[in-house]
Amino acid sequence: MNTAMLTIEPVAGLSAASVLGGEPVLHTVPGSVLEWIALVRQGVSAKAVDTALRVMGIGQTELSRALDIPERTLARRKREGVLSRDESGKLVRLAQVIERAVQVFEDERDALSWLKSPNSALGGSSPLSLLDTDLGAAAVTRTLGRIEHGVFD
């Protein structure tokens, strides 16, 4: 049996870690949920905010709203160098949703565009605008799953 035929190639594109700057910024590339938890607990480098802004092509005001972190707090964290545990968790959640969207759409631009656009399945809200809560992130993730499986009602 040819084992090469059993290999599933990952979709080329953004990973949650790369959205946050990868190893140069995170000083690790988490490979499991437990490793992500450890990273969140120690606090994500504030440099990850700038990387996320560049990757997403949005401004700090929009990111601040998406994370439900005041702009002044983000600016202060940039000076301090590290996000709090809660802020780190919110930024990681955003990065993981981006990674999932890229997997579903198989295209970074399409995924990022979808995240920023109003969506009827989400009550006309953009997915990005719902990521400020766990419930909103879950709704976005469920919607991505429905898209992936061709369920559009």
Q: Residue 85 — pLDDT band, cuts 50, 70, 90?
A: very high
| H-helix segments, 12-133 | 16-19, 22-26, 33-42, 47-56, 60-67, 71-80, 85-105, 108-116
Average pLDDT (61-86) is: 96
Radius of gyration of the chain (CA): 16
The model's pLDDT over 90-140, given as tens digits with 9 standing for 90+, comes to 999 999 999 999 999 999 999 999 999 999 999 999 999 999 999 999 999
| Amino acid letter, residue 31 | G
Q: Mean pLDDT of all residues in the chain?
A: 90
Tokens 């490979």 belong to 31
Tokens 């006309």 belong to 124
CB 115 within 8 A of CB 126: yes
So what's the pLDDT on residue 1? 40
Burial (CB < 10 A; 0-12, 13-18, 19+), residue 28, is middle
For the chain, give every domain's residue range: 15-148
How far apart, in whole angstroms, are the C-alpha atoms of residue 128 and residue 6?
35
How far CA 129 is from CA of 13, 67, 92, 115, in Å, comes to 22, 9, 16, 9
Q: Residue 10 — pLDDT band, cuts 50, 70, 90?
A: very low
The model's pLDDT over 11-51, given as tens digits with 9 standing for 90+, comes to 346 899 999 999 999 999 999 999 999 999 999 999 999 99
Tokens 């993730």 belong to 141
Burial (CB < 10 A; 0-12, 13-18, 19+), residue 121, is middle
Considering the entire predicted model, what is its pTM?
A: 0.88
